[in-house]
Amino acid sequence: MFGFIALFRIPVQLTPEIQEVEIQVETIWPGASPQEVEREIIEEQEEQLKSVEGLVQIKSESYRGRGRVIMKFQTGTDQDTALLKVSNKLNQVPSYPAEAEEPVIKATGTESDAIAWFVFQKTRGDPANVVFEKKFIEDNVKPRLERIPGVAAVNVYGGREEEMRVIVDPSSLASRNITIRDMLQALETSTRESAVTLSGR
């Protein structure tokens, strides 16, 4: 009788639950190009984080205005301990650009897979093109979702990156004694845009 009851009541688990610890470090640097983020922030962080105890894999992603370092740890690593070690290593980064925000550390893993997807579509009759609303979503929608208790990370996919296009008139530049290099340096200093396309005419 007890064997018959146990047959239906004792749970059977073919694969054990294994929690993989994954920690992400995200740093925001408004207006910076992916190359600047990689050179000034990500490389400096990786130099310190690569020696964290228990680390088995480290990779990074650089985008316009932000960068992310993703670290995976050995199976069985205590998540809280790993978070503390990562935080201590980040404190050893010599310096950050003046406009960069403080790095944000997030713990993710097998239990932190996407729990919801939201698709943005324009309403009928709206002339706006939704693919150009990526910056609005990143600046307004994403932060509000991240503040919800229990949400570890919010990722935005699709859309188009903003770009500034400059059309150059060589004769006008020459009359003012301005070179292409001078103009590029002025643009980088004032706007720090990641994409500048020059077209001569």
Task: Kindly report the CATH class assigned to 11-111.
Answer: alpha beta
C-alpha span between 184 and 158 (Å, rounded): 29
The answer to whether 24 touches 57, Cβ cutoff 8 Å, is no
In this structure, the number of other CB atoms found within 10 A of the CB of residue 42 comes to: 20
C-alpha span between 171 and 27 (Å, rounded): 42
Q: What is the pTM of this model?
A: 0.53
pLDDT in tens, the chain (201 residues): 777 777 777 766 655 556 678 899 999 998 888 999 999 999 999 999 999 998 999 999 999 888 999 999 988 888 888 889 999 999 999 889 888 888 988 887 544 566 778 888 777 877 777 777 878 888 888 888 888 887 767 777 777 766 667 788 888 888 888 888 888 888 777 655 444 444 433
Sequence spans of domains, the chain: 11-111, 114-161, 164-200
Q: How far is CA 173 from CA 35, 40, 179, 201, in A?
A: 28, 32, 7, 12
C-alpha span between 171 and 22 (Å, rounded): 56
